[in-house]
Amino acid sequence: MSDPRSRQSETVIECRAIRKVFPGVVALDDVSLAITRGEVHALLGQNGAGKSTLVKILTGVYQQDGGEVRIGGEAVRLRDTRDAEARGVAIVHQDQQLVPQFDVANNILLGSEMTGALGLLDRGAMRERVDAALKRIDAGFSADTLVRDLSIAERAQVAIAAALMRNPTALILDEPTASLSDHEAEHLFGIVRGLRDQGVTVIYISHYLDEVLSLVDRISVLRDGKLIGTLPVDGVSRADVVKMIVGRDIAQLYPKEVVPIGQPLLEVRDLAHGHKLNGVDLTVRRGEILGIAGLVGAGRSELALTLVGALKRRQGSVTIDGRASDPATPRDAKNDGFSLIPEDRRHEGLVIDMTVRENLSLPNISRWARFGLFNPVAEANAARELVERLKIQPASIRPLTRNLSGGNQQKVVVGRWLTGNSQVFLFDEPTTGVDVGSKIEIYRQMVELARQGAAIIFISSDFEEISAMCDRTVVMAKGKIVKTFEDQCEATPEALLNWASATGQEEDVAGTSAVPADTGRVERLLSRWGTALGMVVTIAVIALLAPHFLGIGNIFDVLKQGSVLAFIALGLTVVLIAGGFDMSAGATSQFAANLAAGTLLAGQGTLAAILFGGGLGLAIGTVNAGLVLLLRMPPFVATLGMMFVAMGGTLLYNGGQALTLSGPPEFFFLGQGYVGPVPFVFILLVIVTALLHVVLKRTRLGLRMYAVGLNPVAANLRGVTKPAYAFASFAIGGLILGLAGVILSAYSYGASALATGVDFLISALAAAFLGSTLTKAGELDVVGTVIAAIFLASLSNGLILIGVSSQALPGVQGLILILSIALGVFRRRAIGQVLIF
């Protein structure tokens, strides 16, 4: 490691007496430090020590209440992340906020896209620039690779490349190795060292002290919002750093105590689940901490989830204290005596929008109820005792759990099970991303539970903590136990790693499985092309059963009918793309159809009908945007209300009577005319779809609309805020829905008084979601929507020709809607940018 004193002494970032106060909490107090050019500087401290607050000040997320930040010798006050980037400060977040459906180039250049003629994205220049950035960090993938197809480590490289594209003088890496294997972490360290050699300053945040001490030049330690000290890493021991972080001298990091081991409590025999778990035998005794070591994909988490009923058991038996346990659900497992501290604490261990008090008491709420009456005082007192016992910070039961640091969130996950009657505790990676002090508290709780006679299963990828904290250890690989260490003295980290990796388990980490290669290839082909194949087969079956189905005249009739539906589906798709939802889509088109018909009946001509119909749709889309963005109403609720408003407006306008037109012919040409044998409405649909495709796929506006719909957090971090692009989607979508109503009126020779808006909505939703399963990335797409709409029209036409009642058609469309969404979920294609509620 190079000596930082031999580098340029130029200060890149300087903090002078930084102070930041939140209600009731002093997050930072008189923090002063200087970071020089071309050094790797570690920022260490427990969760809640102030690291995140300081980083947010340096990146413009927060503004300090006192003191000053100097960048390049100049005092600055950073207003937002883009301001920080303009000053040369970039950050790579721990959770690597990216848009999975985008390729690498679109992710990296989101917010600073390159354009050419007519304002279209210059894809060639973007790829060239991004490939150069990827080459700089020795990435093994190209700019046009879909992010969803990358590993976690490769996504980290994308995030680093995106930061480097901003040409930072200081790059902040927040827990960059939390989800990486040792091999992947070593590759990252090589990138960091290379950046240092290029003169880039790296601020490195990590709870893994060994990697810090081997990688960085200097360390700064924060505790309770204060800077404890900054010192060069040379000559500093791990014990010295731990003492600075936790504020007390710790003889050992692992507070293991000798606890009397009792009789067997949990016995597992021949347990299996799929190909991830195969023939596992375990015995865990009272007072024992049993370690389960292994690499990622070894089957350790699957074992825990199978024991608690979250995964279905294929075979085997489990007994607790001699009683058979075969839980169908985690709730049944709780009643049997199991408690699981899951690996993913935020999504599986907590309800993050509930308070600390509610999370601590939720699993055992019945303990504070008598005869159906709840005792909130007793429940609150129990929660306070747990907060004190676990040293949760802040020391209050009132904060929302989402606002706690990672270590304190994990303490809440542990604490929620301490008031019940559990006998077997499953700790699955409980110290991942947790600071040293919180780790020690978690270890102590494990020991305390063992002292009380519980059986503890401790699953961890940190072989050192397994070696230090457990009484016995088993090693898993490929769903089996490959080694049992009865003598824990033999379970050294080196021995555990040797057994965990000796069976080819590295292949599992790369994503292979017991499924034969040919089978996997077939599954991938079906996943990519299954929907299209299903459409072709359906059309072929209908053609066999209804010979007239493929007649030229019928085909053009289907195109004409399907085009009308496709226009409505296009308007809805545009709204969905930006993460919105529009229940009023069908009703808007119906209202516009009535307005267009009424305009013609009033003698104002075709152009006026088009302008009034399109203007109505634009106005309704704008109002929807205002309700959602300004009043912050859920899109489903806002547009549901607007649906009824549009339906009421339609009835008021037409007086409950159908509006029938007899002219002019140029208006009817929009919906019923032909250019040669081809329906004009279909030609119009192709033109509009092509224009929308260009706007959505080849312009900044479209790319950013997709971004805020697919991952608004990632978009916001690139300076792309949701309101502007969500408004654009509602406005454009509304305009298209209004014009769709005009075309509907021309197609129908007038407008119906019946409330058909809901029928249009169901068909449009089915087309939008079914169309999304046709795309490679699984994203909503206007071309896919049109293809699906034409297919739905063909299906309706064919079923009628076969003799199926038209009354059954809405049910068929509903089934297709369910199937299309299910296909998206099955393929893990994240149609979930549509946040209905």
Cα 730 to chain centroid distance, Å, stands at 24
Torsion of CA 417, 419, 423, 425, to 10 degrees: 20
Taking CA atoms, 510 is separated from 151, 174, 280, 298, in Å, by: 8, 24, 23, 12
Fold of 4-88+168-246: Rossmann fold (3.40.50)
Sign of the dihedral defined by the CA atoms of residues 561, 562, 566, 568, in that order: positive
Contact 220, 188 (CB under 8 A): no
Asked if the model's pLDDT at residue 733 lies above 50, the reply is yes
Local confidence band at 829 (pLDDT 50, 70, 90 cut-offs) = very low
Residue 229 CB burial class (10 angstroms; 0-12, 13-18, ≥19): exposed
The Cα angle at residue 710 between residues 344 and 834, in degrees rounded to 5: 95
> What would be the CATH architecture of the domain defined by 563-833?
Orthogonal Bundle (1.10)
Backbone angles phi, psi at 269, to 5 degrees: -130, 125
pLDDT of amino acid 281: 94
**Average of per-residue pLDDT values in the chain:** 86
Per DSSP, the chain holds a count of helices (H) and strands (E) of 30, 26
Fold: same for 4-88+168-246 and 257-337+421-511: yes
* Whole-number Å distance between alpha carbons of 294 and 311: 20
* Whole-number Å distance between alpha carbons of 395 and 385: 10
Task: Give pLDDT tens digits for 389-438.
Answer: 888 888 889 888 888 877 788 888 888 888 878 899 999 988 877 777 78
Across 93-217, where does the E strand assignment appear? 170-174, 201-205
Residue 266 CB burial class (10 angstroms; 0-12, 13-18, ≥19): buried
* Whole-number Å distance between alpha carbons of 308 and 344: 15
Give the per-residue SS3 of 290-309.
EEEECCCCCCHHHHHHHHCC
- CB contact set of 66 (below 8 Å; sequence gap of 6+): 17, 18, 19, 20
Local confidence band at 763 (pLDDT 50, 70, 90 cut-offs) = confident
pTM of the model: 0.72
DSSP state of 100: T
DSSP state of 233: S
pLDDT of amino acid 24: 62
Q: Tell me the average pLDDT across 545-563.
A: 91
Local confidence band at 516 (pLDDT 50, 70, 90 cut-offs) = very low
Contact 342, 428 (CB under 8 A): yes
Q: Take residue 631 and report the two structure tokens written for it.
A: 């009043």
Contact 804, 606 (CB under 8 A): no
* Whole-number Å distance between alpha carbons of 284 and 291: 10
Q: Tell me the average pLDDT across 785-790.
A: 95
Backbone angles phi, psi at 556, to 5 degrees: -70, -30
Task: Give pLDDT tens digits for 31-42.
Answer: 999 999 999 999
Task: Give pLDDT tens digits for 447-475.
Answer: 999 999 999 999 988 888 899 999 999 99
Could you state, in order of their start, the residue ranges of all structural domains in the chain?
4-88+168-246, 98-165, 257-337+421-511, 349-420, 563-833
pLDDT of amino acid 508: 37
Q: Tell me the average pLDDT across 605-633.
A: 96
Asked if the model's pLDDT at residue 370 lies above 60, the reply is yes
DSSP state of 469: H
Task: Give pLDDT tens digits for 562-618.
Answer: 999 999 999 999 999 999 999 999 999 999 999 999 999 999 999 999 999 999 999
CATH number of 257-337+421-511: 3.40.50.300
* Whole-number Å distance between alpha carbons of 132 and 648: 58
Top mean pLDDT of 239-243, 668-672, 759-763 is at 668-672
- Beta strands across the sheet bearing 472-477: 338-341, 424-428, 455-459, 289-293, 472-477, 480-485
pLDDT of amino acid 526: 58
Local confidence band at 817 (pLDDT 50, 70, 90 cut-offs) = low
Q: Which residue, 48, 25, 397, 466, is CA-closest to 247?
A: 48
